[in-house]
Structure 1
Amino acid sequence: MALSGCPFGVLVVIVVLLAGDVVMAQRQWLGTLNKYDPPAPLPKKNVKDPLAPVDHFDKCQVAHNEKILCGTVDITDQQCREINCCHDGRQCYYGKAVTVQCTKDGQFVVVVSRESTLPPVDVNSVTLLEMNDVACSSVDATSTFAIFQFPMTLCGTTVKLEEDGYVVYENHMSSSYEVGVGPRGSITRDSHFELLFQCRYSSTAVEAVIMEINALPPPVSVAAAGEIRVELRLGNGKCLSKGCVEEEAAYSSFYAAADYPITKVLKEPVYVEVRLLGRADPNVVLNLEHCWATTTPNHQSLPQWDILVDGCPYHEDGYKTTIVPVRGSSGLQYPTHYKRFIYQMFSFVDQNAFSPQKDRIFIHCATAVCHQSSMRSCEQPCRRQRRSVAAAKSQNQEALVSSKEVILAPLKSFSADEPNISSALKKWER
């Protein structure tokens, strides 16, 4: 498989990249690059700096059987890097980014990597917004890359002439995503990929411009309260040794008040603990009757998404919440005073347009204190018909507790010239 390129990114960031005066693809759908000549320097554009990456990531670490050739067979290492591709000493190939190229004969070449966003995007769901011609579909696709090549006169491309003499061709592509619809709100855990890209032509140079969209709203604080002393906190412990159990390690430490708002990416596990404070009775059991999420600190606000219903994972959620048992071996003095569960981070979706909202999440839990004895069980069974727990609850032993703010991480896309990426990419990939 072969092709060639220039780069991209995704989220309230603009990345400007230069393409050679001929950028080609070497698989039957593009002609041959005869001679590489670096383009003349273009005037500097006023662009925003990309968001600061977290950890090191090498976009050129592509498995041999997933490599797509970039440029001609005889392209040199320097020429390969000039067009923002990778070279392993033998061949030039596309990296794990989004690459936009502008050919001299007036065609767009766009190569989208699955790992160009965090979490990874389903490249088979990426399409141009206008699909009025067979040429607008991807010309090739694997589980890792999707490749588009189409004339600038098709697929909804707009054209304009700028005062500086550039002719600008612009198009837009996006991905589809799965939406979960509930009675009081809708969510998604899939990456929503949007790319606005341009090719700018002058008499001396070719320029590929990639614009990132989808801003994140500013953070707002939130406080938790309840009639009885109940606290909801989020675990942040890490596995540091071989054989470590991640679910156990996660609850070994917790975010402090100063850490909020905390940021999570789509599908990243969120480790929730609710605990009863100020009680020393081993016969007291804390139960979670109902846990749900909203986009504001107000537990009654809409939209809402259920996480636990009657103490059990919400059955309409395709990514079932995991109940984490707190056993006597946990080392806690009163294990029955604790409840733990794990849900995967999601984004609320507009109920009418089903468009993702880059928003914040607040978790709320309605809790109840149950006094167990030989005659009364406080168990919350989830695999058989639920017995009445209401009779086991004492008066005034209920409380509502809420988390502080959890914000959805910007949908981070990585342009071909960005060297870094969050290490969470592999960890939370499904």
Structure 2
Amino acid sequence: CYYAIDVTVQCTLDGQFVVVVSENVTLPPLDLGSIQLDSSSPSCSPVTSLSSFVMYQFPVSACGSTVQVSGGNVTYQNTMSAAITVSSGPEDSITRDSVYKMFFQCTYSGSQDVQVEAEVYTVAPPLPVVEQGPFDLELVIATGIITGFNALSFPCPDPSYTSYYVDADYPVTKMLRDPVAVEVHIMNRTDPNLVLTLGGCWVTPGPSASSQPQWSLLVNGCPNTGDNYLTSLVTVDRFVFELFAFVDPVAQQALAEKILIYCVAAACYPSATDPCTRSCPARSE
């Protein structure tokens, strides 16, 4: 008889396994048609198949069962599992089926039934490809000297980002039109596949990112076309600009002030539809 519980395992005196499995044993409901025993023999098919449960009945030594003898006891054991249906798309493959595996056994002593054990092993679902997690962003300035730098050249000569100014070096003193090699990178990340992309980057002499006046270096990740000395993109997270000074709007004279660099950045996960790269308009002299 079936008593509407998730799994029923019985061992009969005449040496038969009786196993009943309900669709409610997993969430989402188990695809009962995908259940199979270790053996693929036709005799190992269910004896009863309904929409809500299936029942198997077979000799304890059949259908791929294994046997162990210990201390006068004979134990027969078998494994039942359910296959999953995989849907493949242009990018990846998915499944909406539960993973199910059940180990069951019968132990006999002489002609008497003894302890019946049934263990269900549910495989944990895989970790999501993308998940929330903390990381830090750091903006640094490279100390390398760029030879033959020309803001109109493309691509920009690599300024050899091999060494960087440290905290004790700031504020860094440079002359007008000196190249300033900037890098923004991700720190303390747990996912090595993340790619950083820059949005806007700007300079202001004020103590905060919203201070005025401001001058844009990058707009939506591309050089500010309103600058006669275009910023040069080295990679998606590196760029070089030529140092400038803000001008007093009344006296029309250069201001000798410290300037601070700010950037808006995002962490991007590359995919077939989004390679995390940006196409900027071609430069013109």
If the length of structure 1 is used for normalisation, what is the TM-score?
A: 0.31
More strand by share: 2
Ranked by relative contact order (alpha carbons within 8 Å, sequence separation 6 or more), the top structure is 1
If the length of structure 2 is used for normalisation, what is the TM-score?
A: 0.46
